[in-house]
Amino acid sequence: MLRRSLLALARSERVKRLASTMPVSGGIVSRFVAGETPEDAVRVSSELVADGMRVSLDHLGEDTLDRAQADAKVAEYVEVLRQLGEAGLTTDTEVSVKLSAIGQAMPGDREDADRVALENARRVCQAARNAGTTVTLDAEDHTTTDATLDVLTELRQDFPETGAVLQAYLRRTEGDCKDLAHTGSRVRLCKGAYNEPESVAYPDRIDVDRSYVRCLKVLMNGAGYPMIATHDPRLIRIAGVLADRADRAQDSYEYQMLYGVRPEEQRRLVGAGNTMRVYVPYGDEWYGYLMRRLAERPANVGFFVRSVATKG
């Protein structure tokens, strides 16, 4: 109930305007978001890398409605990749891209939007390769899953290192894991962050967790590179057991968590010899992202409300 209300707030223009006047450098925003500029993103990446983490940078923004906005997002990625290269961070830092941000969600002809998204994704992949790193395509709501996986297939012809994201809450995902568990295939498995209908997604958390474990088994026993994106202590333990059973070396898979979420657990996993990649969002369109994080953890809501009230 609270989760649904927060996800609705994420779309409220009034609250968004009020919250957006909060300084990004203070309080709850800076806990989850690196800052607004590429320089902020590079600074936070270098701090995390110095702590033994890897990073995936996400330039926030999903509501790209025209070609000019899509091109501007691509330029943002190209610039941050250039700065990461200059800072010598590309061995440990990659980028995550939402296709909706680079053209897929443009109104009008769907095929046209998919074509623009693919062209733009190629430009980001090329910039990433030039800088010595990779791209992972984020997963969005279920209406985009097929189109996103089609773009992935196309991209992997030229950029086989491109990472996929699969969402365990979708009923289809175990099958997608089977298709993608092949040599060289980097696959991030997450629970899924959108409000989805029961027709396509498991409504109960327990079924989502069970699906996550089934998917993990497929990925761990397959030949690809699983990226285990969860903060869930039980699933992290199960992932470790499945990796052992599959005789996987610690460098043949990685854990991933969001910036600001369970940082002590992130350090513990690194200390135990695991690869830990932190997903770091940055950019001025941080409001919707922050609301989704709060929807997952209503304990933080009071903190957020106080921050808006005091603009702190």
Ligand X SMILES: Cc1cc2nc3c(=O)[nH]c(=O)nc-3n(C[C@H](O)[C@H](O)[C@H](O)COP(=O)(O)OP(=O)(O)OC[C@H]3O[C@@H](n4cnc5c(N)ncnc54)[C@H](O)[C@@H]3O)c2cc1C
39 scored as a contact of ligand X (CB under 6 A): no
Cβ(255)–Cβ(279) below 8 Å: no
- Residue 7 — φ and ψ, nearest 5°? -65, -30
**Residue 247 Cβ, how far from ligand X at the closest point, in Å?**
25
Residue number with CB closer to ligand X (67 or 261) = 261
Q: Counting contacts by CB under 6 A, is residue 245 touching ligand X?
A: no
Stretch that binds ligand X, among 8-16, 280-288, 289-297, 302-310 (CB under 6 A): 289-297
Nearest distance from C-beta of residue 172 to ligand X, angstroms: 14
- Residue 47 or 112: the one with the smaller Cβ distance to ligand X is 47
Closest separation between CB of residue 195 and ligand X, Å?
A: 11
Answer positive or negative: Cα dihedral of 34, 39, 43, 45: positive
| Identified binder of ligand X from the candidate list 261, 270, 301, 308, rule CB under 6 A | 261
Using the rule CB under 6 A, give the single segment among 13-21, 85-93, 217-225, 229-237 that binds ligand X: 229-237
Binding-site size for ligand X (CB under 6 A) equals: 22
Task: Judge whether 295 and 6 are in contact, CB under 8 Å.
Answer: yes
Place of tokens 């279920």: 142
For the sheet containing 186-190, what is the strand order? 135-137, 93-97, 54-59, 276-282, 254-258, 225-229, 186-190, 164-167
17 lies in the binding site for ligand X (CB under 6 A): no
CB of 129 to ligand X, least distance (A): 21
254 is a site residue for ligand X (CB under 6 A): no
Among 79, 296, 298, 301, binds ligand X (CB under 6 A): 296
> Which residues are CB-neighbours of 277 under 8 A, at least 6 positions away?
53, 54, 55, 56, 227, 254, 255, 256
Ranges within 157-186 binding ligand X (CB under 6 A): 165, 167
Q: Is 152 in the site for ligand X (CB under 6 A)?
A: no
Q: Based on CB atoms, which residue is closest to ligand X, 154 or 232?
A: 232
Nearer to ligand X, 156 or 262 (CB): 262
Q: Which residues are tagged catalytic?
A: 138, 188
Among residues 77, 279, 282, 304, which is the contact residue for ligand X, using CB under 6 A?
Answer: 279
Q: Of these, 71, 207, 232, 284, which contacts ligand X (CB under 6 A)? A: 232
> Please, what is the minimum distance in Å from the beta carbon of residue 243 to ligand X?
17
Q: Which CB atom, from 40 or from 138, has the smaller least distance to ligand X?
A: 138
Minimal CA–CA distance to 59: which of 89, 98, 24, 22? 98
Does position 229 interact with ligand X (CB under 6 A)? The reply is: yes
- Residues at the contact surface with ligand X, assessed by CB under 6 A: 138-139, 165, 167, 190-194, 229-232, 256-258, 261-262, 279, 293, 296-297
